[in-house]
Amino acid sequence: MSTPERRKPFPFDQFEPKWQRVWDDRATFHVANPGEPGFDASRPKFYVLDMFPYPSGAGLHVGHPEGYTATDIIGRAKKRQGFNVLHPMGWDAFGLPAEQYAIKTGQHPRVTIAANVAHFKGQLQRIGFGYDWQREVNTTDPGYYRWTQWIFLQLYNAWCNPATGRAEPIETYRGDDPDSVRLAYVSGAPVNWCPELGTVLANEEVIDGRSEVGGHPVERRSMRQWMLRITAFAQRLIDDLGTLDWPDSIKLHQRNWIGRSEGAEVHFQVADATGTITVFTTRPDTLYGATYMVLAPEHRLVDVLVTEEQATAIETYREKTARKSDLDRTELAKEKTGVWTGAFAINPVNGQRIPIWIADYVLPGYGTGAIMAVPAHDERDWEFARKFGLPIREVVSPTPTLGLGGSGVCEAEPLECFVGEGYAIHSGPLDGLPTAEAKAEITRRLEADGLGRKTIIYKLRDWLFSRQRYWGEPFPILWENGKHRALDASELPVVPPDLEDFKPTGTPEPPLSKAKDWLRYSPSASSSSSASPRTKEGEAEAEADTHSNATRESNTMPQWAGSCWYYLRYIDSQNAGRFVGAEAEKYWMNVDLYVGGTEHAVLHLLYARFWHKALFDLGHVSTPEPFQRLVNQGLILGEDGQKMSKSRGNVVNPDDVILEYGADALRCYEMFMGPLEQTKPWSMTGVEGIYRFLARVWRLAMEENQAGEWTVSAAVQEIETPRDIAKVVAATVKKVTEDIEALAFNTALSQMMICCNALTGATVRPAAAIRTLLGVLNPFAPHLTEELWERLGGNALLAGEPWPAYDPALLIEDEVELPVQVNGKLRDKIVVKKDAPAAEIEAAALAAPNVKPHTDGKTIKKIVVVPGRLVNIVAV
RNA sequence: GCCGGCGUGGCGGAAUGGCAGACGCGAUGGACUCAAAAUCCAUUAUCCGCAAGGGUGUGUGGGUUCGAGUCCCACCGCCGGCACCA
């Protein structure tokens, strides 16, 4: 049995779809570009951007509408405040999750994505978001990824000139191996291979040795892969964070990820042989304390150095290391392991012979893959030295006096490891110098003697940019005789073959390699729509002959490729001749406000900055950074305070909320829960609270007649607003306007509740006051306010009406109530004229009935009068 | 271990160094109703008190200040991130 339909306190189910249709039909939120009809150059621009969703099969969850409602409120308010507002939406639809969903459902990703996009779009439209749908983008449209491929070509055909620190066309490179400097290049270095996902992954996609998607183990493996030279931009990516209005936590995260370290390279001569080992250290001042060296097991010199006696032990250890996953290798609190190579090096500053070890606590990918070990002043080296009985030599003293006069002779071994800064001891010419000076001095000396130099290194690695999956952008690259070359821009887009079996092969061989016909490149067939002008029939044939052995790159781009530049495509989404029109780009960039989750801190948000900088250097965009202001919405937890998940059964589906309470209630509740950036739990009774508020607003203006029809209430009259109501309304306009600017939507709503409560209490309700309240409530509850606006006689859409103004004079009281404290404790309140002199206020305060008992028999030492705030009497 | 962030009623939360607990939820009482739902009104930090009023109170302990939830120091707890980065 189904329960009878419960009567709705206001007919949101009727008017919400109605207004959504009106906004759609009239393209209310479409905004024109410069040069287009309807463009108003007199208005300032505002570009407000959401992180576009991944159209997964699960549909929207309540986390999406949180950020989306915030930007929608800003966008709607700014539009009414006289801005040209760009507020677009689109679909990030390439990549692993889409492909996995397709595999699960047994349908082609193209089909599932189309269905999911339609589903998502319907859901977003039912929430009433004011997007400019004419600018909708989908990263899997050929008309979109054509330009993703084009940008890849720009990177391929560019290098970062060390002289200028800028990306430049590869033509300006004067060396003899351009392939060694391109921003997009091929590398055979070890990569993160995830057997379960059947693809390699970027460092940013690997967390604790497992894949970010799915949490599968990741191993290291040498494979030929495409890389993007993001490291060339490391310093600028750090420096320019200073110009951005981003949360400190995200800036810090990016800074730590890039991981700049200042120090020195030091060259150690190998004893009894030729060759040097270069180490990186941030503490060159401890060089005299280096008592052994450690190479990463993978270090290429290990084979050269190892002595016959140690060869077996070394080989065994190296094999063991190779078998370890990243997970095992970085495991917590693990005991140090290592093996001596049998070889020695010479400490360049004191000539000491120090043994060379290998150990897996030295990582091949950081610094030079080799360290000088200073056990007295480094925790790891300390631990290692203790375990293997290696000498420990103290060369830094925490206090300046302790070590003074210390000779170069090694003293007794210290009792504990000291990693802090102090004063050099047992360090020859450095003795007595504070750490900072000792660093500078030893570096100067090393440089003078050609034994080393000052160096800055970064943790950031180049971006592993290829994947062995089907559902991604193909590379605009051909292979010929073992060499790669770029396709011409005129041959884009490179459309992937329509594979029946698009599953990963489970081997490093990408699925696209199964498409034999597609792989074989023939220029005439490649460029369907936009064949280059010079390609005539005969020439095409000739070329086909020339390149008969050319094959296409069969890897695809990672899911981050499309999202690296989508904010640019929105600006000019239909442009068939350029990735974004220059004039439009100049007008709309930068993004004024970008709202999204923190999960992309060192993924999308770093990658997009990198691409943008490259495009900026090459003259394709006009600003060095894409996103001026970034705000992270907080996570919404389930009603039980736990993260929402299917297994916990605490997932809230926005569709259900809309069905029962309406879109306006969903929007307002998500904003009323608490500060936007905070993590907060869902509460269904909280939704009901907001729903009741919206019903009260409805009943301010409407009443139900005998027939059960809603008509404008008789209490609503076109009269002049009484002063007390006018005051509340003015205060509400002020607070809501300011709170929207500050993204403090929860307090804006509470002020509107206060305003509504004040109007509910009035027997006669001035129509003008209600209209003003509707005006400021509109961005939050657009359907309800639009409906009431019309019922109260509005002809045009409220969405296009100017933002309400208020008379500041109304907010200035003639008389003010001041709390009176005695020794900081509240005792009474007095009412005084707004601009009463201090003496008068003091007298009134002292005379207040509840003040007297607390001052009697005491000496008044001081009276603090804070005008308009309070009075504090200090009595002892 | 390191780096962030946060600790306020039964709950979500509010508070430019100036009346702690706005607003909402929940709860209690009342009105309306045959009754219920819905709605409206009132109360709602805590202790003493019939009341007026008073004591206590923003994780703990100190400090600065006429005045501290807010600023400073130390500690405790929770959440998030990073983690052998030389």
pLDDT of residue A719: 92
In angstroms, how far is B83 C1' from A227 CA? 26
Of A278, A471, A249, the closest CA to residue A370 belongs to: A278
Q: How far apart are CA A537 and CA A543, in angstroms?
A: 10
In angstroms, how far is B3 C1' from A316 CA? 38
| Residue A765 approaches strand B within 7 Å at CB | no
| Residue A761 approaches strand B within 7 Å at CB | yes
In angstroms, how far is B46 C1' from A854 CA? 24
In angstroms, how far is B52 C1' from A872 CA? 23
pLDDT of residue A411: 60
| Residue A375 approaches strand B within 7 Å at CB | no
Q: What is the pLDDT of residues A767-814, one digit of tens each?
A: 999 999 999 999 999 999 999 999 999 999 999 999 999 999 998 888
Of A430, A372, A378, the closest CA to residue A403 belongs to: A430
Whether A491 has a pLDDT exceeding 50, the answer reads yes
Of A560, A567, A630, the closest CA to residue A595 belongs to: A630
Q: How far apart are CA A487 and CA A128, in angstroms?
A: 43
| Residue A870 approaches strand B within 7 Å at CB | yes
Q: What is the pLDDT of residues A733-773, one digit of tens each?
A: 999 999 999 999 999 999 999 999 999 888 889 999 999 99
Strand runs labelled E in A733-867: 765-766, 815-822, 825-833, 860-866
| Residue A247 approaches strand B within 7 Å at CB | no
| Residue A260 approaches strand B within 7 Å at CB | no
- The residues, ordered by sequence, that sit 6+ positions from A290 with a Cβ below 8 Å of its Cβ are A347, A354, A372, A373, A374
Asked if A457 and A367 count as a contact pair (C-beta separation under 8 A), the reply is yes
DSSP H/E element including A96: helix A96-105
| Residue A261 approaches strand B within 7 Å at CB | yes
Q: Which nucleotide is nearest to A669 (CA to C1')?
A: B24
Q: Which nucleotide is nearest to A256 (CA to C1')?
A: B82
> Which of A77-91, A205-219, A635-649, A842-856 has the weakest average pLDDT?
A205-219
In angstroms, how far is B48 C1' from A757 CA? 35
| Residue A259 approaches strand B within 7 Å at CB | yes
pLDDT of residue A345: 96
pLDDT of residue A53: 94
Q: Which nucleotide is nearest to A819 (CA to C1')?
A: B19
- Hits for CB < 7 Å against strand B across A residues 723-752: 744, 746-747, 749-750
Q: How far apart are CA A205 and CA A832, in angstroms?
A: 64
| Residue A367 approaches strand B within 7 Å at CB | yes
| Residue A9 approaches strand B within 7 Å at CB | yes
Q: Burial of A363 by CB count in 10 Å (0-12 exposed, 13-18 middle, 19+ buried)?
A: middle
Asked if A637 and A673 count as a contact pair (C-beta separation under 8 A), the reply is no
Q: Report the nearest residue to nucleotide B12, CA vs C1'.
A: A673
| Residue A454 approaches strand B within 7 Å at CB | no
| Residue A874 approaches strand B within 7 Å at CB | yes
Q: Which nucleotide is nearest to A635 (CA to C1')?
A: B80
Residue type for A524, please?
Answer: S
Mean per-residue pLDDT of chain A: 90
Peptide bond just before A778 cis, omega within 30 deg: no
In angstroms, how far is B31 C1' from A668 CA? 30
Task: Tell me what ipTM this predicted complex has.
Answer: 0.95
pLDDT of residue A852: 87
Q: Which nucleotide is nearest to A873 (CA to C1')?
A: B66
Of A416, A302, A395, A396, the closest CA to residue A350 belongs to: A395
pLDDT of residue A5: 47
Q: What is the pLDDT of residues A428-469, one digit of tens each?
A: 999 999 999 999 999 999 999 999 999 999 999 899 999 998
pTM (2 decimals)?
A: 0.91
The mean per-residue pLDDT over the stretch A597-618 comes to 93
Q: What residues form DSSP beta bridges with A866?
A: A870
Q: How far apart are CA A294 and CA A369, in angstroms?
A: 9
Is A122 strand, coil or helix? helix
Whether A845 has a pLDDT exceeding 60, the answer reads yes
Q: How far apart are CA A358 and CA A364, in angstroms?
A: 11
Q: Which nucleotide is nearest to A459 (CA to C1')?
A: B85
| Residue A335 approaches strand B within 7 Å at CB | no
Q: Which nucleotide is nearest to A263 (CA to C1')?
A: B86
| Residue A280 approaches strand B within 7 Å at CB | yes
| Residue A296 approaches strand B within 7 Å at CB | yes
What's the token pair of residue A668? 């307002």
In angstroms, how far is B48 C1' from A819 CA? 25
| Residue A683 approaches strand B within 7 Å at CB | yes
In angstroms, how far is B58 C1' from A496 CA? 61
- Hits for CB < 7 Å against strand B across A residues 163-202: none
pLDDT of residue A211: 84
The DSSP-derived string for A336-363 is: P--EEEEEEEE-TTT--EEEEEE-TTS-
In this structure, the number of other CB atoms found within 10 A of the CB of residue A231 comes to 19
Q: What is the pLDDT of residues A120-175, one digit of tens each?
A: 999 999 999 999 999 999 999 999 999 999 999 999 999 999 999 999 999 999 99
Whether A537 has a pLDDT exceeding 60, the answer reads no
| Residue A685 approaches strand B within 7 Å at CB | yes
Of A278, A277, A283, the closest CA to residue A263 belongs to: A283
In angstroms, how far is B5 C1' from A163 CA? 41
Of A730, A188, A728, the closest CA to residue A466 belongs to: A188
| Residue A360 approaches strand B within 7 Å at CB | yes
| Residue A332 approaches strand B within 7 Å at CB | yes
> Which of A94-108, A292-306, A401-415, A579-593 has the weakest average pLDDT?
A401-415
DSSP H/E element including A712: strand A710-712
Which position has the higher pLDDT, A378 or A331?
A: A378
Tokens 């993978």 label which residue? A298
DSSP H/E element including A45: strand A45-50
Q: Left (φ > 0), alpha (ψ -120 to 50) or beta: where does A27 sit?
A: left
- The residues, ordered by sequence, that sit 6+ positions from A601 with a Cβ below 8 Å of its Cβ are A250, A253, A254, A257
Q: Which nucleotide is nearest to A460 (CA to C1')?
A: B85
| Residue A18 approaches strand B within 7 Å at CB | no
Whether A566 has a pLDDT exceeding 90, the answer reads yes
| Residue A458 approaches strand B within 7 Å at CB | no
The mean per-residue pLDDT over the stretch A464-489 comes to 93
Q: Report the nearest residue to nucleotide B82, CA vs C1'.
A: A256
The mean per-residue pLDDT over the stretch A80-98 comes to 95
A311 pLDDT tier (thresholds 50, 70, 90): very high
Chain B nucleotides covered by protein, CB below 7 Å: 3-5, 11-16, 18-20, 22-26, 38-41, 53-55, 66-68, 79-86
pLDDT of residue A528: 44
| Residue A569 approaches strand B within 7 Å at CB | no
pLDDT of residue A273: 82
Q: Kindly give the pairing relationship between strand A680-681 and strand A636-637.
A: parallel
The DSSP-derived string for A537-603 is: HHHHHHHHHHTTT-EE---B--THHHHTSHHHHHHTTT-SSSSS-HHHHHHH-SBSEEEE-GGGTTT
Share of chain A above pLDDT 90, in %: 67
In angstroms, how far is B45 C1' from A825 CA? 18
Q: What is the pLDDT of residues A168-217, one digit of tens each?
A: 999 999 999 999 999 999 998 788 888 888 889 888 888 777 888 888 88
